[in-house]
Amino acid sequence: MPNDLPAGVPEWLAQLGGGKITRLDRAVARREAYFAEVTRPDGSVLKGFLRLERNPDPKNPSSLKKEIEIVRALKGSGVPVAEVYGSDDELNCVLFSHIPGRADLHNMERKQQNAVMRDFMEVVARMHTIDLSKLSLPPMKMPANAYECALDEMDAVLAHLSDFVASYHEPLLTYGVDWLRRFAPKHVERISLLQGDTGPVNFMFEGERVSALFDFEWGHLGDPMEDLGNICVREFWNPSGGLDGMLKIYEEKSGIKVDLDSVRYYRVQQQMRGMVGIHKATLEGDPHEPIAWFLGYRYVGDRATCEAISEAMGIAIDIPEFPKEDSKRDPLALAASWALKHDIEPAVKTPLAASRARDVDVMVRCIERVARYGAEIDAIECTEMSVLLGAPVTSVADGFDKLDPAILAHSISDESMMRYLTRRAFRREWLYQPCAELCPDRKWAKL
């Protein structure tokens, strides 16, 4: 069966399953994964979910090896997880069992969404109240206080991406990280095992019940309010009926008091933790990754981060005016989009190929849009940064270079900074509208 797997992985998979690979379909997902089936000589079939890391980094706080060990530790704990059929540290791959159900809660009717989310909150409550001494977890740092709970994971991401962070000047990232340090919670009720990236799309469900949590690469020990903040983030990205009453269910089932200020803080923390890597991905462009989606995550995510910080601080949102649009299209971009939509997409046979074809069309339309409106947006940016800094700004890059030290010196008020950053985020989301439309109508659920 033709495939793009690293050398040795197909042989390992076949040997693990005791037969011949008869299905290997790339999952349409942010991380590289495959639906796999191995048919044995007796006709029985082993169905699983293959995950791999092509270039594992031992300094990466999010690792496949850690996920495997956490999933193994949770087996039999009352928290539903997949079975680990086998893993190979040298090949950096694992085969999880096939989890029954589906993950797209955002596509379900409101009644089912509400029922599943209620069950999910009970599952999270069970996970957060597990006696850690009874789990064979991989080595993970035990935070000493609330500040370490709030900043350890963020600092690990910044250390992992230190080369990128050192050379990349982006005021929202600079301000956001500084904000997290200044406003970290001062109290934590208990330390729990956290999924670290929990919420809709990172669990499977059948009917009205959760069948398994998955994706523990960000798993760690910390403040349970962090997972609640992450649930808010994932519900933002995958709208699943809102969160009305959900935090109350969690509080009742776990016995852990919900601190809404901490939840609001961790909404920002979780957004910032992800946005550093998203910015890097959009600038470096790994061909194995869905760059169009990353662009959508970036520009919708920047706006969401600004909204979350503003809400946490009680700052009113400024929505700016946008450049006037016209209906003209660049003839080359129009031809490319036509060919993709009418000639290529109907001919592709796999979900991944169809998704990639649509992504290319989105990127073509973004390139066209930036060519038409980018200079006007940049000019507005320079004018606003000049006012903010009280000094002339000659280009966006020049303004960013000057904003970084001003942000860290706290010479600009939080309100002025956030009003500027929010207007900028709305304008960039508008500029990259074709990508932003991959994540339409994203709004924070009320807590």
CA 337 from chain center: how many Å?
Answer: 28
- Token representation of residue 191: 């330390």
Beta pairing partners, 86: 95
Question: Which tens digit of pLDDT belongs to each residue from 262-276?
Answer: 999 999 999 999 999
Task: Specify the range with the lowest mean pLDDT, choosing from 10-19, 279-288, 367-376.
Answer: 279-288
Q: How many CA atoms lie within 13 A of 244 on its CB side?
A: 6
- Helices first, then strands: H and E counts in the chain: 15, 9
Check whether 349 has a pLDDT greater than 90: no
Question: What is the 3-state secondary structure of 41-91?
Answer: CCCCEEEEEEEECCCCCCCCCCCHHHHHHHHHHHCCCCCCECCEEEEECCC
Question: What pLDDT does 56 receive?
Answer: 77
Instruction: Give the span between the Cα atoms of 137 and 64, in whole angstroms.
Output: 14
Q: How much is the average pLDDT of 85-113?
A: 95
Question: What pLDDT does 325 receive?
Answer: 87
Helix segments in 285-338, DSSP class H: 291-313, 331-338
Query: 104-132 in b/e burial notation, b at 16+ Cβ within 10 A?
Result: ebeebeeebbbbbbbbbbbbbbebbbbee
Question: Which tens digit of pLDDT belongs to each residue from 1-12?
Answer: 666 789 999 999
Cβ atoms of 266 and 225 closer than 8 Å: yes
CA 204 from chain center: how many Å?
Answer: 17
Q: DSSP letters of 154-191?
A: HHHHHHHTHHHHHH---HHHHHHHHHHHHT--S--S--
Instruction: Give the span between the Cα atoms of 199 and 234, in whole angstroms.
Output: 5
Percent of the chain, pLDDT > 90? 84
- What are the phi and psi torsion angles at 213 (to 5°)? -85, 145
Residue 440 makes CB contacts below 8 A (sequence gap 6+) with: none
How many angstroms separate the first and last alpha carbons of the chain? 49
Q: Which residue has the higher pLDDT, 127 or 4?
A: 127
- Token representation of residue 434: 């074709």
The secondary structure element, H or E, covering residue 148 is helix 146-160
Kindly report the average pLDDT of the chain as a whole number.
Answer: 94
Beta pairing partners, 113: none
Q: What is the CATH number of domain 9-97?
A: 3.30.200
CB atoms within 10 A of CB 257: 10
Question: What pLDDT does 31 receive?
Answer: 79
Identify the architecture of domain 105-284 in CATH: Alpha-Beta Complex (3.90)
CA 282 from chain center: how many Å?
Answer: 14
Question: What pLDDT does 345 receive?
Answer: 85
Instruction: Give the span between the Cα atoms of 181 and 56, in whole angstroms.
Output: 29
Domains of the chain: which residue ranges? 9-97, 105-284, 312-436
Can 9-97 and 105-284 be said to share one CATH topology?
no
